[in-house]
Structure 1
């Protein structure tokens, strides 16, 4: 049976209850006391999760797969006269980088690891720079003539597809779509880096336990 004492001190009443070891409540108190309080890094990771890293990572994975698929199709169709994006290989290495970034973002939503958040920031800085380069390459490809169809090439030496304007329109349409995807990837990477930087620089908080 629990013993209870009441003490009045300075207008404050203190009630003390002593619970025996056989009391069921003693096991509950013991279990509750062994639970470790949240660490400072867990609070910082929760701040990073406000950016919905799982959703951002899904976008990067989806667009990364699209880049790789486009890269395979265009490389196979333009093996004779590859366009600037195909020749640079940007569709493949940007796609791989997006898959890596997306996987890290999705994993950071599952694990409370501040080191994982820092890795996400580093990779997404690379994504930001890569999307800017990719946008420049695609816009340059749109402004240029189709490879092998330049104005300096003699009329008799131009391939047959040069005389079909629909081919250039199709190529420009694909580059325009990829530019839109690059802008989306850029925005996602900026959001990930912004929230990740805030989480890394956030002050450590110590929770008081009684």
Structure 2
């Protein structure tokens, strides 16, 4: 009985395809390194690029410089409250209706509140904060207008003209109230342009590039849809 050997079966073996032979002659590392896949992560945005993608409503809001004006309002309110409290130590202050009804105290507190809301809205521009800032600035503008009227009448007071210190402090109060009135009107106007819109369907474009995961930086809140914050 003839037993077939490997050499006798050689003609009947089908040769390996060329592609398989090529794969056998290469190491697995050669195949895996062909086209490496890199993750897509958001790239960091510069200030100019963030402004370019910022919704128009937010651009109008920041054009009014709410942060700087808010800080100014806070300082005016603090100085007005301080001067109003110090005014009670001056002789004959009871002839001064502006001090008797405590206009510097309650108006200064309103200025501090409206300034604080302006600073908060500038740092975190959410629609509720912007609306609160708008309402408080309207109230503060009314308070500043009332203060201006009282101060204009007080400057003609006979007792006030005889007291040089009172007259000088009254002039400072008048400057503060005029400045506060202008600031509140400006801030309220830009706040109204921000919230008085029918929709916020601004398209925000996010550009992706191949960077390492540690370099990814999210878009600032100012570049997002205000209603989604």
Give your verdict on TM over 0.5: yes
Equivalence map 1:1-210=2 (5 Å): 23-25=36-38, 27-28=39-40, 31-32=41-42, 44-78=57-91, 81=94, 83-146=96-159, 167=163, 169-202=164-197, 203-207=199-203
- d(CA) in 1 for partners of 2:166 and 2:204? 62
Q: Is the 8 A contact 1:45 1:117 kept in 2?
A: no
Displacement of 1:146 in angstroms is 2.0
Q: Is the 8 A contact 1:139 1:175 kept in 2?
A: no
**Which residue of structure 2 lines up, in the alignment, with residue 12 of structure 1?**
none
- d(CA) in 1 for partners of 2:82 and 2:107? 12
Unaligned stretches of 5+ residues in structure 1: 1-21, 33-40, 148-164
Q: Is the 8 A contact 1:42 1:114 kept in 2?
A: no
Q: Which runs of 4+ in 1 moved over 3 A?
A: 78-82
Displacement of 1:86 in angstroms is 1.2
Corresponding pairs, count: 163
Q: Is the 8 A contact 1:53 1:106 kept in 2?
A: yes
Going from structure 1 to structure 2, the CA distance change for 1:120 and 1:42 (only over 3 Å counts) comes to farther
Q: Is the 8 A contact 1:44 1:114 kept in 2?
A: no
**Higher percent of residues as strand:** 1
- d(CA) in 2 for partners of 1:80 and 1:176? 15
**Larger relative contact order (Cα-Cα within 8 Å, sequence gap ≥ 6):** 2
Q: Is the 8 A contact 1:42 1:112 kept in 2?
A: no
SS of the aligned residue for 1:190 comes to helix
Deviation readout 1:109-166 (Å, 9 max, x if unpaired): 110201111111100101111011001111121112228xxxxxxxxxxxxxxxxx75
